[in-house]
Amino acid sequence: MENQRTIKSKVFFEGIGLHTGKNSKVEVLAAAPNTGIVFIRKDVASAPAIKADFYSVLDPEKFPRRTSVGHDGVYVHTIEHFMAALHLLKIDNLQVNIWGEEIPGLDGSAKLFVDKIREAGIAELEAPKQYLVIKEPIFIEEGSSSIAIFPYPKLRISYALKYNNPLIGAGFIDLELCGDLKPEEDFYQARTFCLEQEVRSLMDMGLGKGANYENTLVVSKDGILKNKLRFSDEFVKHKVLDLIGDLYVAGPFRGYVIAIRSGHSLNVKLLQKLRRYKERLTTSGVESTTSFVPTTGEVSAAEILRILPHRYPFLLVDKIVELDKGKRAVGIKNVTFNEQFFQGHFPGRPVMPGVLIIEAMAQVGGVMMLACEEHSGKMAFFMAANEVKFRNNVIPGDQLVIEVVAGKIKSKTGVVYTKAFVDNKLVAEAELMFALVTS
Point out the residues of the chain with pLDDT beneath 50: 284, 287-293
Residues 6+ apart with CB under 8 A from 37: 51, 52, 83, 86, 91, 92, 93, 94, 96, 248
Separation of alpha carbons 275 and 150, rounded Å? 16
Positions of E strands within 361-422: 378-390, 399-409, 413-422
pLDDT value for 301: 66
- Cβ-in-10-Å burial (0-12, 13-18, 19+) of 386 comes to exposed
**For residues 73 and 45, is the Cβ–Cβ distance under 8 A?**
no
CA proximity to 25, closest of 105, 116, 83, 99:
99
Active-site position among 19, 87, 238, 264: 264
What residues form DSSP beta bridges with 256? Answer: 150, 156
Predicted local confidence at residue 29, as pLDDT? 96
Per-residue pLDDT, 233: 93
Tell me what pLDDT residue 289 has.
Answer: 45
375 tagged catalytic: no
Beta strands in 184-313, from DSSP E residues, in sequence order: 193-195, 217-219, 253-260, 286-287
Give dist(CA 10, CA 121) in Å, integer: 9
Structure confidence by residue, pLDDT tens digits, 265-308: 999 999 999 988 887 776 545 544 444 445 556 676 667 666 66
> Nearest 5°: phi and psi at 293?
-125, 115
Q: Would you call the peptide bond into 313 cis, given omega within 30 degrees of 0 as the criterion?
A: yes
d(CA 326, CA 375) in angstroms, rounded, equals 9
Nearest to 390, CA basis, from 423, 416, 353, 363: 353
Which of the listed CATH numbers 3.10.129.10, 3.40.50.300, 3.90.950.10, 3.40.50.620 matches domain 286-438? 3.10.129.10
Residue-level pLDDT at 374 = 67
Residues 6+ apart with CB under 8 A from 146: 139, 140, 259, 260, 261, 262, 266
Instruction: Give pLDDT, residue 290.
Output: 45
Distance CA 11, CA 407 (A): 49
Domain boundaries, the chain: 3-282, 286-438
Q: Among residues 39, 48, 41, 136, which one has the least CA distance to residue 96?
A: 39
What CATH number has the domain spanning 3-282? Answer: 3.30.1700.10
- Looking at residue 141, what is its pLDDT? 92
Beta strands in 167-285 (DSSP E): 170-176, 193-195, 217-219, 253-260
CB 239 within 8 A of CB 170: no
Note if 238 is an active site residue.
no
Phi, psi of 38 (to 5 degrees): -120, 120
